[in-house]
Amino acid sequence: MDAAALVDLERYPIDRLDSAEGQALLARTRADLDGKALALLPGFLRQGAIDAMVAEAEPLEAGAHRRERERTSYGWMDNRGFPEGHPRRALHTLRGGSITRDMIAPGGPTARLYEWPPLVDFVRRALGHETLYPCADPWLALEFHIEDQGDRFGWHYDTNDGVVSLLLRAPDEGGAFEYVPFIRDEDDENYDEVARVFAGTSSLVQRPPMAPGTFILFRGRRSIHRVSAVGATRKPRLIALLSYDRNPGMVFPEATVRAVLNSSNEPHLGSHPT
């Protein structure tokens, strides 16, 4: 399947960004990222593309790397020395499966779309970067995440901004993406509000509805977020994660890769996007 056939280019003309329609799409996407840290393009994938990508992932689910661990939301910082009950010490469950790039066929629909130049260029321009490249990481450049009943991806920040994902299948219950846009900034961690988020009493938590086929571009470095626990479901939640970088040849730190491939080694993974 040709990459161009996967995307609804009538609705989202990413192959002609310099047209009036393309410029409007870029402006809307940038405004969403600036205003609420999240740009959602529902119906971005054609139904045939959703079907093809699900069909690609399903046979790989049995071999997915499973991990289950508790971690703080601040894995990139030293969280020792904080008092009991402080958000820096709170542990959240990360439990789910990952199908890594080495398992995904290079000529399949997901890998083709990931590297399709118009898609890379759209993401680059939406994020306002001079350059953008598909990551070179043999494992984490491209993944499917799978969350079955009881799985969840607890509250955390990403250490990079501009994560791209494509929701392919929503579970029957739970598994919602929840976040607080720009809850922290460079000078203020805003622990009081973070504590309310953890306690379930914050009024700032957003839960945007998402249907399969939605393109998701997210700034998660300052926006705490999670995937809530999946409830009873006939099939697991399935989402494709596409990692890009401003520099060519980017690979993830060894510890990050190891944490996905072998969950017993790294108790506080913090750098990998959901």
Q: Which residues contribute to the site for Fe ion (CB under 5 A)?
A: 158, 220, 273-274
Least gap, CB of 218 to Fe ion (angstroms):
8
Least gap, CB of 220 to Fe ion (angstroms):
5
Least gap, CB of 69 to Fe ion (angstroms):
15
Region of residue 182 (left: phi > 0; alpha: psi -120 to 50; beta: else): left
CA nearest neighbour of 236 among 164, 174, 163, 154: 174
Cβ neighbours for 224, distance < 8 A, ≥ 6 positions apart:
73, 155, 156, 157, 179, 180, 183, 184, 194, 197
Least gap, CB of 158 to Fe ion (angstroms):
4
Q: Which is nearer to Fe ion, 114 or 218 (CB)?
A: 218
Distance (Å, whole) CA 164 – CA 219: 9
Burial class (CB in 10 A: 0-12, 13-18, 19+), 59: exposed
Least gap, CB of 21 to Fe ion (angstroms):
31
Q: Which is nearer to Fe ion, 89 or 221 (CB)?
A: 221
Least gap, CB of 74 to Fe ion (angstroms):
13
Least gap, CB of 273 to Fe ion (angstroms):
4
Q: Which is nearer to Fe ion, 110 or 274 (CB)?
A: 274
Q: How far from 37 is each of 46, 216, 224, CA to CA, in Å?
A: 25, 11, 11
Residue nearest Fe ion (C-beta atom): 274
For the four alpha carbons of 98, 194, 203 and 200, in that order, the dihedral sign comes to positive
Q: Which is nearer to Fe ion, 58 or 178 (CB)?
A: 178
Q: Which is nearer to Fe ion, 233 or 243 (CB)?
A: 243
DSSP state, residue 179: E
Secondary structure tally for the chain: helices H, strands E: 7, 12
Distance (Å, whole) CA 79 – CA 72: 8
Helical segments of 86-208, H only:
109-115, 117-127, 191-199
Q: Which is nearer to Fe ion, 256 or 274 (CB)?
A: 274
Least gap, CB of 230 to Fe ion (angstroms):
16
Q: Which is nearer to Fe ion, 73 or 110 (CB)?
A: 73
> For the packed helices 20-36 and 117-127, what is the interaxial angle rounded to 10 degrees?
50
Distance (Å, whole) CA 102 – CA 63: 12
Q: Which is nearer to Fe ion, 56 or 158 (CB)?
A: 158
